[in-house]
Chain A
Amino acid sequence: MLIQFTNRGIFCPRANIYIDPWKPVDKAIITHAHSDHARWGSKHYLSHKDSEFILRYRLGTISLETLSYNQPIQINGVKISLHPAGHITGSAQVRLEHNGEIWVVSGDYKVKPDGYSVPFEPVRCQHFITESTFGLPVYNFPEVNELNIQLNQWTKENATQGFNSVLIGYALGKAQRILSALTTDQPILLHSTIYNTNNALGFDNSPYIKFTQEFKKEQLNPGIVVATGSVIGNPWLKRFDPYRLAFCSGWMQLRGARRRRNADKGFIMSDHADWQGLNEAVLATGAENVYVTHGYKTVYAKWLRENYKLNAYEVETLFEGESIETESSETIGEQTETGQQS
């Protein structure tokens, strides 16, 4: 087999290279820059070129080589190429081929275009490794256009009633999607982690106010605040009173998840594939062997076996996704992010 599942991560012995390892290794391909996939300590990294700045910003001084999509390289006879995963900027599926055996490691992905990152492209293979974060039929995400309309309506309505709108999303990926979706002319203030992430991504920060200690309420009056989940339950939010708060996450599909957080509103905005998306993606690869990682892996693997007669297996990984509370790659990423750097 070209790929093995080891306690350091997904491994290709022939090329002596790991994909998103969770322990330090010699050579690591990084599918995308979220902290549960891009961990520090490896000697050499390989990623898509659009991940470069954010990886350097988050992992510090590293030895990093980058590729474009569909630009194959050879390592000891293994042909390796990256393909768009549609998850966040620079996110990639990794295709590995040797002697006619083809694997695709998809990392995190979504099928529907978000209007910001390069859209997902299906890659034919025999062995497909898929996430299953939202691998239950109750997860059916709304169309991006419809969602963006709701988002803008909500902020507008809040403003009319004299409320600031606080939008909570992960600094890398979600925040840029939110900012791209907003069509308002209200002032928009960014939490510093998001501001810095934008800078590292080359995302234009000029329309936005960066939060500093000198912030005055009148600067918004009323406006929009985009922040990471780390501010929840924190006095930081008090200075935006009166405000209404919304989480932007796929988990907002479930009423309980929103109510538990006492959020005024939940926008079902996810960078992961929903149920339909997962099924489409799996079928489009034509793979007979599917390895299901983080999420509802038992359920989803069983579904693939029963419904599509595929050889589907559950694989234990350290990628996160079982519940909203460990959703470090989606909304509540702040601690992991800073924790990794220190």
Chain B
Amino acid sequence: MKGFANLYMELDQTTKTNEKITLMAKYFSRTREEDSIWAIALLTGRRPKRPIRTSDLKLWATELAAIPYWLFEESYDVVGDLAETISLLIPLQKSDQDKPLNKVMIEILEIASQPEEVKKKWLLNYWSQFLRDELFVFNKLITGSFRVGVSQQLVFKAIAKAYNLDDKAVAHKLMGNWLPQTTKLQNLLSATSSSFDDSKPYPFYLAYQLDIQFSEMDKLEDWQFERKYDGIRGQIVVRNKQVHVWSRGEELMTDKFIEFAALGNILPHGTVIDGEILPFKNGSILSFNEMQKRIGKKNVTQKVLTDVPLCMMCYDLLEYQGDDIRQKPMHERRALLETIVKTANTELLHLSTLLMPKSWDELDFLRNESKKLGCEGLMIKHKNSIYETGRRRGKWWKWKVDPYTVDAVLIYAQSGHGRRANLYTDYTFAIWDNENLVPFTKAYSGLTDKELIEVDSWIKKNTIEKFGPVRSVRAELVFEIAFEGINLSPRHKSGIALRFPRILRWRKDKNKEEINTKKDLLQLLNSV
């Protein structure tokens, strides 16, 4: 546990990717395999569920710290992170024992089902034997909030470096359904694709936003153009009549997207399709909102299946007749994909249409139709591109349409968490509804650190009222908010819900009289 806590702290203290890789590789090569497999699981986001209720954690920490509960809450408000708050509040012991990471993790998994008194005893025992860094990392694990500032790709590179493997092969081997408590690192890393578990997906290839000129690109005819649909990027894996549906976040969505189960009897063994999962009814795509509602539901009822049926808009083929074909050029994979989808001949699978613009100007024209068609923009893929892993520049580009924008005034602020703890960074904005300012959206990201600090300091000086962690402020600062979509929503005070709202820029040149109105937004809604 010490070694892992140490790794966490070291990773936390550098922003340089090469250093991060070196640190992880060093850890792996020094650590026993049964601990390394846990480290890999944790670093790639396979964190255990919170085994103990947050309210119990707070209560027991307060007892141990011998402070009143309100003071715990005040401290938490300032620190902004429960695990850190607890590790700062409870008195440190000088004891200096170490316990292997895999033992600690197994105990965390097992304690979840124990009665409360057992949990408490177990926890207090742990809290009194760690030094501060271990305590913090341990608390991160039991609060279910363990996150590290490393991308999966960096972890793969570090593993490749430590075990002398190819990082893309590592990426594939570590995808999908494995549990650190039942997997041996040796088996995981040495597996050949034929011995893979049937559910295993491939690492997604992600495109960068187009940021170069067309003149710097190859000829128009070297590229493949498609619409970028607004659904959930996913992979459908069919092996031995079993269907597994994976989201880009590497979540297994098979149980939520049950209609795809039928593909087990339609697609041949050893087929993996990459595409966008969309709500699709009577020949047209439904709004993303419908999809979100469906995902939010606990049970997939017959009504849901009839109201919001799904399909996959197929982009790419990664496995064909059981062979990994990611190294074949795009145009060959596309040809095979067309055969597969046409042969399957099912409403569940649609081929993404290839666009055939005669010029880059025409492509831009096609892009501008996106919103009308419910798309986010275009995808531009080189016809010779192999299917890479992770986000890479050069061969695949996304070219999104410009977002909608609205000018709004800041009226509430709340302090952030983690990196933004103790800084007012979560904002609520209002627009005019006749003579009244009506709150209509929250937005977080988009300001530079410098601006954040400036706004934070303004908020502290212009607070009207405090309600717990929230402050209402004088309506004065105007921001331009960008968003991707708009819907009616009875749950919101304004009756409107925005999709992906974020701060585009601080409009220091505008005052609150000049911001948009609710009428403007309703007009926009009706025009979409």
Q: Are B84 and A137 in contact (CB under 8 A)?
A: no
Interface bits A119-156 vs B (CB < 8 Å: 1, else 0):
00000000000000000111110000000000000000
- Please judge, given known A-B contacts A254-B84, A257-B422, whether A262 and B15 are in contact too, CB under 8 Å: yes
Q: B293: CB under 8 A from chain A?
A: no
Q: B85: CB under 8 A from chain A?
A: yes
Q: What A residues does B75 contact at CB under 8 A?
A: 136-138
Q: A42: CB under 8 A from chain B?
A: no
Q: What A residues does B417 contact at CB under 8 A?
A: 256
Q: Which of A17-25, A69-77, A186-194, A323-331 binds B?
A: A323-331
Q: How far is the CA of A326 from the CA of B422 in the complex (A)?
A: 12
Q: Are B89 and A325 in contact (CB under 8 A)?
A: no
Q: Are B12 and A325 in contact (CB under 8 A)?
A: no
Q: A291: CB under 8 A from chain B?
A: no
Chain A CB within 10 Å, residue with most, of B68, B81, B84, B422: B422
Q: What B residues does A326 contact at CB under 8 A?
A: 457, 460
Q: Are A233 and B12 in contact (CB under 8 A)?
A: no
Q: How far is the CA of A322 from the CA of B70 in the complex (A)?
A: 19
- Please judge, given known A-B contacts A254-B421, A260-B423, whether A138 and B79 are in contact too, CB under 8 Å: yes
Q: What B residues does A324 contact at CB under 8 A?
A: 422
Q: What A residues does B457 contact at CB under 8 A?
A: 323, 325-326
Q: Are A256 and B85 in contact (CB under 8 A)?
A: no
Chain B CB within 10 Å, residue with most, of A233, A307, A323: A323
Nearest Cβ in chain B — how far from A262, in angstroms? 6
Q: A299: CB under 8 A from chain B?
A: yes
Q: A98: CB under 8 A from chain B?
A: no
Q: A101: CB under 8 A from chain B?
A: no
- Please judge, given known A-B contacts A137-B65, A137-B67, A326-B457, whether A259 and B419 are in contact too, CB under 8 Å: yes
Q: How far is the CA of A260 from the CA of B79 in the complex (A)?
A: 13
Nearest Cβ in chain B — how far from A115, in angstroms? 23
Q: How many residues of A contact B (CB 8 A)?
A: 28
Q: B118: CB under 8 A from chain A?
A: no
Q: A303: CB under 8 A from chain B?
A: yes
Nearest Cβ in chain A — how far from B520, in angstroms? 35
Q: How far is the CA of A113 from the CA of B420 in the complex (A)?
A: 32
Q: Chain A residue with minimal CB distance to B149?
A: A259
- Please judge, given known A-B contacts A136-B78, A138-B78, A264-B14, whether A256 and B419 are in contact too, CB under 8 Å: yes
Q: Are B420 and A264 in contact (CB under 8 A)?
A: no
Q: What A residues does B88 contact at CB under 8 A?
A: 137-140, 253
Contact of B71 among A253, A303, A325 (CB under 8 A): A303
Q: How far is the CA of A40 from the CA of B112 in the complex (A)?
A: 62
Q: How far is the CA of A54 from the CA of B377 in the complex (A)?
A: 62
Q: Are B68 and A306 in contact (CB under 8 A)?
A: yes
The 26 listed contacts between A and B (C-beta, < 8 Å) are A136-B74, A137-B67, A137-B71, A137-B75, A137-B88, A138-B75, A138-B78, A139-B88, A253-B88, A254-B79, A254-B422, A255-B12, A255-B136, A256-B418, A256-B419, A256-B420, A256-B421, A257-B421, A259-B419, A260-B423, A262-B15, A265-B13, A299-B74, A307-B68, A325-B456, A326-B457
Nearest 9 CB-CB pairs, A to B?
A256-B421, A138-B88, A259-B419, A325-B453, A138-B75, A299-B74, A136-B75, A260-B419, A325-B457
A-B contact count (CB 8 A): 77
Q: How far is the CA of A138 from the CA of B423 in the complex (A)?
A: 17
Q: How far is the CA of A256 from the CA of B420 in the complex (A)?
A: 6
For chain B, residues 202 to 248, give those with C-beta under 8 angstroms from any C-beta of chain A: none
For chain A, residues 246 to 269, give those with C-beta under 8 angstroms from any C-beta of chain B: 253-257, 259-262, 264-265
B residues at A contact (CB < 8 Å):
12-15, 65, 67-68, 70-71, 74-75, 78-81, 84-85, 88-89, 136, 417-423, 449-450, 453, 456-457, 460
Q: What A residues does B15 contact at CB under 8 A?
A: 262, 264
Contact of A260 among B74, B420, B460 (CB under 8 A): B420
Q: How far is the CA of A307 from the CA of B65 in the complex (A)?
A: 14
Q: Chain A residue with minimal CB distance to B74?
A: A299
Chain B CB within 10 Å, residue with most, of A138, A233, A265, A324: A138
Contact of B89 among A137, A254, A260, A307 (CB under 8 A): A137
Q: What B residues does A323 contact at CB under 8 A?
A: 422-423, 456-457, 460
Q: What B residues does A322 contact at CB under 8 A?
A: 460
Q: Given contacts A253-B88, A302-B70, could you give 6 more A-B pairs where the C-beta distance is less than 8 Å?
A: A254-B84, A257-B422, A303-B71, A307-B68, A323-B460, A324-B422
Q: How far is the CA of A237 from the CA of B195 in the complex (A)?
A: 53
Chain A CB within 10 Å, residue with most, of B14, B74, B460: B74
Q: How far is the CA of A121 from the CA of B80 in the complex (A)?
A: 35
Nearest Cβ in chain A — how far from B46, in angstroms? 23
Q: Chain A residue with minimal CB distance to B85?
A: A138
Q: How far is the CA of A257 from the CA of B80 in the complex (A)?
A: 11
Q: Chain A residue with minimal CB distance to B83?
A: A255
Nearest Cβ in chain A — how far from B366, in angstroms? 41
Q: Chain B residue with minimal CB distance to A242?
A: B16
Q: What B residues does A254 contact at CB under 8 A?
A: 78-79, 84, 421-422
Q: Are B71 and A256 in contact (CB under 8 A)?
A: no
- Please judge, given known A-B contacts A137-B89, A138-B79, A323-B422, whether A255 and B71 are in contact too, CB under 8 Å: no
